[in-house]
Chains A and B, each alone.
Chain A
Amino acid sequence: MRSNAGGIAATVVALFLGILVVAQFRSQDVYSRSLQLETPSSLTTLIANLSDRNNSLRDEIFDLRLRVTTARESVASGQGSLSESQREIDQLKIFAALSAARGQGISVKIDGAFDDRAMSDLTNELRNAGAEAISVNDVRVGARSWYGPGPDRTILLDGRQLNGPWTVKAIGASDVVYVAITRTGGIEGQFELIYPKTRFTVTKETTIDMPAVAVQR
């Protein structure tokens, strides 16, 4: 009787053990990405980013509707669409970095150790913050620009050697771009941790001038 009771107890424990092992194994499933697994904080940031992008699209749609109407009326009245075409050319030249540009923005002075991958990350962050034109040491960054390591701790931009200290300029809404770069946990703060001996100075500028991209392959 006693041995029977012991056997039943052991069976029950073994059964639970088996179920738990399987459950635990399944919960250690292969990693997969899903929005549902993001933290509320990450989701809120994503939503803010999507909203900003959608607002930019709405602004451009509004602008394009007006331009389509103006161009139609202009063609119908026999004036052609020269002014509209010229306006689009000017816009595309700025967008593709094919013309020199002027405007408000920010400058980031980097004095000390830095490298090409960090410069690429900074460029990416400035673009994400809404920078419309970017230059490093007065060399324009284009759509197809690339960075690489140069000799003696210099940085190559499209094969051109840039010596430190580096000044990165970005034309764009200066308040927005400044906050994006200097916010708590932002890229400036990250750089200060990674390059503790390097001095980063971010300033808002009322007027920045930069040349067109040197090489458009």
Chain B
Amino acid sequence: MTTLAATPDRRRQRLQHAFALLIPAVLFGFLVSAQWQGQQERSEIAVRYNAPLTDAALALQKEQDDLKAQLQDLRAQLDTIQTNASSQSGAASELEKELAVLKAQAGLSPLTGDGVMVQLDDSHTVAAGAANLDQAICHSTDLTDILNTAWRGGAQAISVNAQRVVSSTSVYCVGSTIMVNGTLLSPPFNIAVIGPQNSVLGAFDDPSQLRDIKARRDVQGLGFRVTRANAINVPAYDGALTVRVAIPQ
């Protein structure tokens, strides 16, 4: 009697043990495969070509910084020669004054003034593989939209992470990397805008402007902040002028 009664109990016990191990085993299998797949994806990205290509890109960026420094030095030398020559004749003095005005208008002179600071940044809470990742990070089109709004508000001079925005400036995006004036930049993007503060702030506050950015800030945590600021420094454009085909008329 005792033996007959113990058998179903033991079976139930075994089943309970089996079920107790089944759930962690399934979880274990799921996590092993997820981890293995993750490693596989990363190893595809980290193929042998990435390291030398990354090094090459960084070396070119370093070379660009050096070339820009040389260019600035030569522009300063030419300025000095022209300034000295302007004291020799009235005509040279007039040209020198015209040059100074044109350089300011073209963005080749640094400028300090009151305006607004805009900061655009990736969300700091979004996970790398999140479904809404695209909505939570900054894109080149966000930057062009912000520049457009600032000019619309009456901006006089703008820089993005110390890159002066001039007539040839483009915001270029490859993968998740953004270039302004051909220079590699990383978020946060600090956009310095010199101009009439109320008018520029009004343009940014206008509900019809930057709707997409404002919605992503509120929902996905995209970093977007506009603040009034005084004595903002906007550096001079330090890139090439690239006027080779166009002829003045």
Chain A residues with a Cβ under 8 A of chain B: 6, 9-10, 13-14, 16-17, 20-21, 23-24, 27-33, 35-40, 42-47, 49-54, 56-61, 64-65, 67-68, 71-72, 75, 80-82, 84-86, 88-105, 117, 120-121, 124-125, 127-128, 130, 132-133, 142-148, 171-173, 209, 216-217
Do B170 and A89 touch across chains, with their CB atoms under 8 A apart?
no
Given A21-B31, A50-B61, A130-B242, does the pair A99, B248 have CB atoms closer than 8 Å?
yes
Residues of B within 8 A of A117 (CB): 141, 145
Query: What CA separation (Å) do A14 and B60 show in the bound complex?
Result: 50
Do A128 and B95 touch across chains, with their CB atoms under 8 A apart?
no
Do A173 and B81 touch across chains, with their CB atoms under 8 A apart?
no
Do A33 and B50 touch across chains, with their CB atoms under 8 A apart?
no
Do A68 and B248 touch across chains, with their CB atoms under 8 A apart?
no
Do B28 and A96 touch across chains, with their CB atoms under 8 A apart?
no
Stretch at the interface among B111-119, B171-179, B227-235: B171-179
Given A37-B45, A98-B105, A120-B148, does the pair A84, B82 have CB atoms closer than 8 Å?
yes
Given A13-B21, A30-B126, A31-B137, does the pair A39, B82 have CB atoms closer than 8 Å?
no
22 residue pairs bridging A and B, Cβ less than 8 Å apart? A6-B17, A10-B20, A13-B21, A20-B32, A30-B126, A31-B137, A36-B50, A53-B182, A54-B60, A71-B82, A75-B88, A81-B81, A89-B98, A92-B99, A103-B247, A132-B168, A132-B242, A132-B245, A132-B246, A144-B151, A173-B244, A217-B156
**Among residues 1 to 51 in chain B, which have CB atoms less than 8 Å away from a CB atom of chain A?**
17, 20-21, 24-25, 27-28, 31-32, 34-35, 38, 45-47, 49-51
Do A85 and B53 touch across chains, with their CB atoms under 8 A apart?
no
Chain B residue with the shortest CB-CB distance to A90: B248
Chain B residue with the shortest CB-CB distance to A65: B74
Do A40 and B47 touch across chains, with their CB atoms under 8 A apart?
yes
Which 5 pairs across A and B sit closest by C-beta, in order of nearness? A53-B182, A42-B175, A128-B170, A143-B167, A43-B53
Known contacts A6-B17, A30-B128, A127-B167, then 17 further A-B pairs from the complex at CB < 8 Å, ordered by chain A residue: A24-B34, A30-B127, A31-B130, A47-B56, A56-B240, A61-B67, A61-B74, A68-B78, A72-B81, A75-B88, A85-B99, A92-B106, A124-B144, A130-B242, A132-B246, A142-B167, A144-B151
Task: Tell me, rounded to whole Å, the shortest Cβ–Cβ distance linking A153 to chain B.
Answer: 16
Task: Tell me, rounded to whole Å, the shortest Cβ–Cβ distance linking A104 to chain B.
Answer: 6
**Among residues 67 to 113 in chain B, which have CB atoms less than 8 Å away from a CB atom of chain A?**
67-68, 70-71, 74-75, 77-78, 81-82, 84-85, 88-89, 91-92, 95-96, 98-99, 102-103, 105-108
B: contact size bracket:
35 or more
Given A17-B27, A27-B35, does the pair A71, B50 have CB atoms closer than 8 Å?
no
Q: Which of B63, B95, B125 is within 8 Å of A30, CB to CB?
A: B125
Task: Tell me, rounded to whole Å, the shortest Cβ–Cβ distance linking A2 to chain B.
Answer: 9
**Among residues 117 to 175 in chain B, which have CB atoms less than 8 Å away from a CB atom of chain A?**
122-130, 133, 136-137, 140-141, 144-145, 148-149, 151-152, 154-156, 165-172, 174-175
Do B71 and A104 touch across chains, with their CB atoms under 8 A apart?
no
Do A85 and B96 touch across chains, with their CB atoms under 8 A apart?
yes
Query: What CA separation (Å) do A117 and B211 show in the bound complex?
Result: 12
Do B239 and A89 touch across chains, with their CB atoms under 8 A apart?
no
Q: Which of B28, B57, B103 is within 8 Å of A46, CB to CB?
A: B57
Most A CB contacts (10 A, CB to CB) among B95, B133, B172, B245 go to B245
Residues of A within 8 A of B102 (CB): 89, 92-93, 96, 98
Chain A residue with the shortest CB-CB distance to B108: A92
Do A82 and B245 touch across chains, with their CB atoms under 8 A apart?
no
Residues of B within 8 A of A56 (CB): 239-240, 242
Query: What CA separation (Å) do A94 and B155 show in the bound complex?
Result: 21
Do B32 and A38 touch across chains, with their CB atoms under 8 A apart?
no
Task: Tell me, rounded to whole Å, the shortest Cβ–Cβ distance linking A60 to chain B.
Answer: 4
